Amino acid sequence: SMYDLVIANGTVATAADVYRADVGIKDGVIVALGRGLTGAAETIDAAGRYVLPGGIDSHVHIAQPSGEGIVMADDFESGTRSALFGGNTTVLPFCIQEKGEALRTALTDYHAKAAGNCYTDVSFHLVISDPSEAVLGQELPAAVADGYTSFKIFMTYEALRLNDAEILATMDTARRTGALVMVHCENEDAIRFLVDKFTGEGHLEPRTHATTRPVVVEREATHRAISLAEVVDVPVVIVHVSNGAAMEEIARARARGRPIVGETCPQYLMLTEDDLSGMDWEGAKFVCSPPPRDKAEQTNIWRGIETGIFDLFSSDHCPFRYDDDRGKLNPKGRNDFRHIPNGIPGVETRLSILFSEGVMKGRIDLPRFVAMTATNHAKTYGLYPRKGTIAVGSDADIAIWDPDAERVIRHAELHDAADYSPYEGIAVRGRPETMILRGKVMVRDGALVGEKGYGAYLPRGLSDRAKPPTE
Ligand code: DUC
Ligand code: ZN
Ligand code: ZN
Ligand code: ZN
């Protein structure tokens, strides 16, 4: 037949438009958009539904080595299954270089974990923790040429942090190769000072995690990352921005013409530092970095979403089980916040939260939702236009949403391998009910019908934001 699949009668939304159309799919690709498409082997009736590009979550942590007897809750199977049910068709997790490790070794190990296990397409960012001459001179340029076109660097965490000289050298390799740098902005020395001070006064409970990582340490590091990028003349992504002051650093840099991409996450809209003060060490469930702030900062982050300071809305899914010796309540972590692993699950709830709180409450329109959850991720990380839009020639990665479905987020109904959701009990409107990956129905009316292993690895082109200098 002319089409393998037609999605009929739905309301299609892209980052630009919202319109009624049927979507015709052949060999995994969108081949027609129009009215009354016929000649399909299968037709899905999407009347009353939104037909959206599959979500792209460009900031997730899956099967990441975590040290100290800690194990991340999700492997690629559970992590991508959860992502799929949450409305996503592509995720970008981090492949971490340990100190002294060759990038090729890190990549080989990480690919082995993903191979054959994915329900969504995946592509890896690198994390550069050891910017040696060999890494910056040969290994990283080779990795960029092989399609690993973005990497993250850290200004905090003893095992990962780079000093300013290392940041400059690493950014310079990005400039030469066209890779895009993502920066985790928190001042490690300032955090260390505060941690020593507060633990010295006997404060060991989860809330102290937030107290010792205040807005100012994020704001200073954000300003410094943007300044170092200006010295090198390279674009950067400021990831997981939690507050208005860091956001203003981005806005000011942009006003000077700097190419800065801003990312924020659901935790900075829905959680506060008070969540870290729960009874019985329950605050550990909300320990992540940067920490959630307060109501005023939530309002600031909404303003950044509404006014376009943020391009990317990602989950920062970084799942650890709560009631588990290898998770949040590990033997040391149940007495001392310094040993609570940093990170919270959220790959399955990201889209529903922004759809419900953003689109249904009138803060953003549907094209902006699509841009912030799919299109901008594809453009930023070298996957556009194959991914991130509904257009003739693009992969048929589609989420069919019922905008009227009402439910309450319950971890029992999610598909990850953690044992809680930080968003438990939040009421949301709108639900991704049918998921299509490269033309194949993976979830139908809320039921898993696709096979593990259909998700593929995606080598990427250079970011639309970072093209190398022409010599
Ligand atoms: N940074 C992240 O990006 N995710 C979880 C923890 C962290 O520090
Ligand atoms: Zn980070
Ligand atoms: Zn205390
Ligand atoms: Zn993260």
Neighbour count for residue 453 (Cβ, 10 Å): 12
Task: Report DSSP state, residue 161.
Answer: B
Q: How far apart are CA 167 and CA 228, in angstroms?
A: 8
Q: Is the CB of 342 under 6 A from ligand 1?
A: yes
Residue 319 phi, psi (nearest 5): -90, 130
List the residue whose alpha carbon is closest to atom 1 of ligand 1. Answer: 289
Token pair for residue 56?
Answer: 């792209």
Q: Can you tell me which atom of ligand 1 is nearest the CA of 342?
A: 6
- Provide ipTM, 2 decimals: 0.89
Q: What pTM does this model have? A: 0.98
Q: Which helix (H) or strand (E) holds 70?
A: none
Q: Can you tell me which atom of ligand 1 is nearest the CA of 59?
A: 3
CB contact set of 172 (below 8 Å; sequence gap of 6+) = 136, 232, 234
- CA 210 to centroid of ligand 3, rounded, Å: 11
pLDDT by residue for the chain (471 residues), tens digit each?
A: 899 999 999 999 999 999 999 999 999 999 999 999 999 999 999 999 999 999 999 999 999 998 879 999 999 999 999 999 999 999 999 999 999 999 999 999 999 999 999 999 999 999 999 999 999 999 999 999 999 999 999 999 999 999 999 999 999 999 999 999 999 999 999 999 999 999 999 999 999 999 999 999 999 999 999 999 999 999 999 999 999 999 999 999 999 999 999 999 999 999 999 999 988 899 999 999 999 999 999 999 999 999 999 999 999 999 999 999 999 999 999 999 999 999 999 999 999 999 999 999 999 999 999 999 999 999 999 999 999 999 999 999 999 999 999 999 999 999 999 999 999 999 999 999 999 999 999 999 999 999 999 999 999 999 988 866 554
- CA 203 to centroid of ligand 3, rounded, Å: 4
